[in-house]
Structure 1
Amino acid sequence: MRPVLVYTAARLGIFLATAGVLWLTPMQKAPLFLLLGALLLSGLISYVLLSGQRDAMSASVVSGLSARRRRFQESRTREDA
């Protein structure tokens, strides 16, 4: 669960930093374009900078799901017996 929170916090931080930088440009007069631009730029930056965290997050999610499936199958076999 921790890698998911780290990745999400990093993505949010990059988005807020990008929005802050764009606020210093003339885009502050058009808040919708500022937010869309920040979303696009932060997505690109996150794709490049957070590849390690993204891999750790996906591994964490996959292991959590496989553990749940295993426990579910164990409980089903106990009920059937």
Structure 2
Amino acid sequence: MLYTLWRILLFAAALGAGYLLGLRSWLLVLVAAVVAFAVSYLALSRPRDSAARWLAERDARRRAQPRVVRDEDTDFEDSVVDADSGDTDPSTLRQAQDDAGSGRRGDEPAG
């Protein structure tokens, strides 16, 4: 967040300096963007590295969390819907009911 703030301030300062030097219209914005990029690349290496570390840690935390949590109730309900639509064999429905009643998931071995 601090890195972004510094970059915005550099761009605003470059815009102001360019305006005072007589640049106008799209050329002012283009020159200010290039100047702000160059100065931020040279002067803001420490905040940039800190921001990159923060983003990498955030990504690692997101990847460590499970995406979809399934439980026995969801599996049972899915099997009932599949059986009603004729997509599964009735024996599969019976197996799902048995698994849900025993607290076991359908893909876990019995015993």
Identify whether the pair has TM-score above 0.5, normalized to the shorter chain: yes
Alignment partner, residue 60 of structure 1: 54
TM-score (norm 1): 0.80
Q: Which runs of 5+ in 2 are unaligned?
A: 72-104, 106-111
CA RMSD of superposed structures (Å): 1.7
Higher relative contact order (CA 8 A, sep 6+): 1
Q: Deviations 1:42-66 (Å, cap 9, x if unpaired)?
A: 0000001110000000000000000
TM-score (norm 2): 0.59
Q: Deviations 1:8-51 (Å, cap 9, x if unpaired)?
A: 10000000001101111121xx3100000000000000001110
Which of 1 and 2 has greater Rg?
2
| Total equivalences in the alignment | 72
Q: Which runs of 5+ in 1 are unaligned?
A: none
Larger helix share, 1 or 2: 1
Alignment partner, residue 21 of structure 1: 17
Letter aligned with residue 47 of structure 1: Y
Percent of aligned pairs sharing the same letter: 26
- Give 2:40's match in structure 1, choosing from 43, 46, 52: 46
Spell out structure 1 runs of 4+ moving beyond 4 A.
Answer: 78-81
